Structure 1
Amino acid sequence: MQRLEKLLEDAGIKLSAAVSDLMGVSSRAMLQALIDRQNDPQVLADLAKRWMRSKIPELGQALTGRFREHHAFLTRLYLDQYDQLTSAIKQLTVRVEEAMAPFRPVLDLLDTIPGVNRAVVEVKVIVAETGGDMARFASAKNLASWAGLCPGHHESAGKVRSTRVRPGNAHLKGALGMAAFGTARTKGSYLQARYKRLTARRGPMRALIAVEHSTITAIWHMLTDNVAYHELGGNYFIRRDPERAARRAVTRLNELGYRVTLDPMEATG
């Protein structure tokens, strides 16, 4: 699709600026007409379907260009490649679903993790790479180490030289990274709170790795004990150490130029 978009721009056709889906019904009709050597922008724009017809004036301008035989040949080639790949993806999707059928209980458990959906590819990769069986890993630490999510430890003369994570299963690590993006965006969750808390001190990349580590640790316990994910809540760190949370809040307000006096509220029955 990117190659097709670049080719159209080379011909002065700005179709992608006027439509949200370059492979949508209206776009495909216009592209086919261009391939058939129809160069009238108004005729092309009139091929718009349904709600796209409200954008006919804009489409007319976007379809004004220098679309030649060379562009028609490559456009046809790219469309055929897109259709072939789309067909292959559909076949593979069906095959993957068939292969995942025996692991439905495992997928159901993983689906309880905030931000992780059983429909996404990452969940299936996690199951495929671990086999869905935690018996082969003695502990959550063993699984995290195998996934490459345990920091390396190089200490000399009492000084830590490196804390980089070690190499691990690239496929599993990549899937956990994508899953961590989802969990870190889930409002009100413990994993989002952990991500935000660490981002302030260690930066987003290290915070994301920490979320990946927490996720794979949770997965080990869930699949080992056959239990759903236990959500600790977005206020977990505040509940765990309210005095520290209060000090951090006061410090931030002081940095903004405010003088804060704490007056504890009386507990209500």
Structure 2
Amino acid sequence: MSKFKNTFELKFPNAAGIDIGASSHFVAVPPDRDDQPVREFPSFTEDLNALADWLTACEIDTVAMESTGVYWIPLFDLLEARGFTVYLVNARHVKNVPGRKSDVLDCQWLQQLMSFGLLSGAFRPQGDYAALRTLARLREMLLRCQATHIQHIQKALLLMNILLTEVLSDVMGVTGQLIIRAILAGERDGETLASYRNGHVKASEEDIAKALQGSWRDEHLFSLKVAVELYDFYAEQLMACDQQIQQQMEDLARYDLKPEKPKRRGGKPKNAPKFDARALLMQMCGVDLTRIDGIDVTTAFKVLSEIGADMSKFKSAKHFASWLGLCPGTKISGGKVLSAATKRTSNKVAQALKMAAVNLRNSQSALGAYYRRLCGRMDKGKAVTACAHKLARLIYAMLTKGEEYVDQGQTYYEEKYRERVIKNLTKRAEELGFQLTPASEMA
């Protein structure tokens, strides 16, 4: 028993544990700091300040708390502003002894684990990057809400047998919006509505006119009107949100750089911010992440808004990829690998990188060739994860070293891959007592 006690030493003797709740928080400090080492504080701001004052009086400098919902955020910000070192820990990693579950025991268990240095804090961007992440997630929510009302618009059109979705790839594109708003203004003639056709639309005016012959029922027209008004409302909110994001990114700009002309053809992604986000992203981190094939402005914005430009909290590219949940698992027992599957994760950066990996399927670049080779060796899901892992390592290298990514091209990658295969085959042949001879020499 004494040997076990000597194994664990106090690493944070001035640590406190907090069990977070919606209406109150339970706080535990070392037993020798107060006659009542466990106290309950309501979640009102006045009581949170009293909590911080009590921790200061108890000479606490380190605090561990569970990441419960969003209830931890006000207390986390307040304690961090008061100079405490705050560790936000995953509730699944601090399970107490089964059969003994209470708020008092939970906060004491957190305090004990933190005292011995057995807890690690979750990653959270610092300062203004936390504000940028909040705005970016708000923008995602607005886009999802707007997309819902696009579905309502499509449903109202289909109920009137207005088959606009059959002739237009994007109902809310330039042509689609002109036609829909003309319908709401009272126009019913198919040929007149079809005249709004944009020159880039593949369908002819005759086909569009045929698709615009419907029943024009009043209840469905009213549903269409409400859906369009809600779509416009969220478009206004998106514009206001983009202005806030632009201002926040300008405040975070540290480098006076201008990106080169993008090497890819085509316009900006549909849901990308309306301002020059690419230039601001480069001024924030000093490198142009969009030079990596598969990563566009929206993906680069997602990465920087979620993790920021400072990668010092990740010891290496391996640690970064592991945090993203893109590393193979290490479930081993008795020297046998039971499973190498990646862990399930809802990490937003990982999801964005997987989408970027899928976009490489037709890329004539080294990364595109790498993705297609992986698809030939394994199922598509594993290939996407492996390619996303590679993208994560490239991003880590660019943000830590400040070097630009240079694509060597598909031909270069295939040649290097051929050299590796020949080298491995030659080595294997020598082990078996054979010698490889090129077909050209045999002729």
Alpha-carbon distance, 1:49 to partner: 5.5
Alpha-carbon distance, 1:73 to partner: 0.5
2:282 aligned residue: 104
Opposite residue 109 of structure 1, the aligned amino acid is: D
In structure 2, C-alpha distance between the alignment counterparts of 1:44 and 1:192, rounded to whole Å: 43
CA distance 1:236–1:19, shift in 2 (3 Å) = closer
In structure 1, C-alpha distance between the alignment counterparts of 2:188 and 2:417, rounded to whole Å: 68
Higher mean displacement: 148-157 or 91-100: 91-100
Residue among 278, 291, 294 paired with 1:115: 294
Q: Is the Cα–Cα contact under 8 Å of residues 286 and 402 in structure 2 kept in the other structure?
A: no
Q: Is the Cα–Cα contact under 8 Å of residues 174 and 198 in structure 2 kept in the other structure?
A: no
Residue among 183, 186, 196 paired with 1:34: 183
2:312 counterpart SS class: helix
Bigger relative contact order (CA 8 A; separation at least 6) = 1
Q: List gaps (5 residues or longer) in structure 2.
A: 1-149, 254-280, 426-437
Give TM-score scaled by structure 2 length. 0.50
Residue among 398, 410, 428 paired with 1:222: 398
1:173 counterpart SS class: helix
Greater fraction of residues in strand: 2
In structure 2, C-alpha distance between the alignment counterparts of 1:219 and 1:230, rounded to whole Å: 13
CA distance 1:219–1:72, shift in 2 (3 Å) = same
1:256 aligned residue: none
Higher mean displacement: 214-223 or 97-106: 97-106
Alignment of 1:54-73 (within 5 A): 55-73=204-222
Opposite residue 71 of structure 1, the aligned amino acid is: H
Q: Which has the larger radius of gyration?
A: 2
In structure 1, C-alpha distance between the alignment counterparts of 2:225 and 2:206, rounded to whole Å: 26
Find out whether 1:16 has 2:194 as its counterpart.
no
Equivalent residues, number: 248
Greater fraction of residues in helix: 1
In structure 2, C-alpha distance between the alignment counterparts of 1:37 and 1:230, rounded to whole Å: 55
Summarize deviations over 1:96-152 as a string: whole Å, max 9, x none. 2332332534263313212323xx221111112221111111111111111111111
Q: Is the Cα–Cα contact under 8 Å of residues 18 and 58 in structure 1 kept in the other structure?
A: yes
CA distance 1:192–1:2, shift in 2 (3 Å) = same
1:205 aligned residue: 381
Q: List gaps (5 residues or longer) in structure 1.
A: 249-260
Q: Percent same amino acid at aligned positions?
A: 28
Alpha-carbon distance, 1:183 to partner: 4.1
CA distance 1:226–1:16, shift in 2 (3 Å) = same
CA distance 1:74–1:152, shift in 2 (3 Å) = same
Give the aligned CA root-mean-square deviation in angstroms: 3.0
CA distance 1:206–1:111, shift in 2 (3 Å) = same
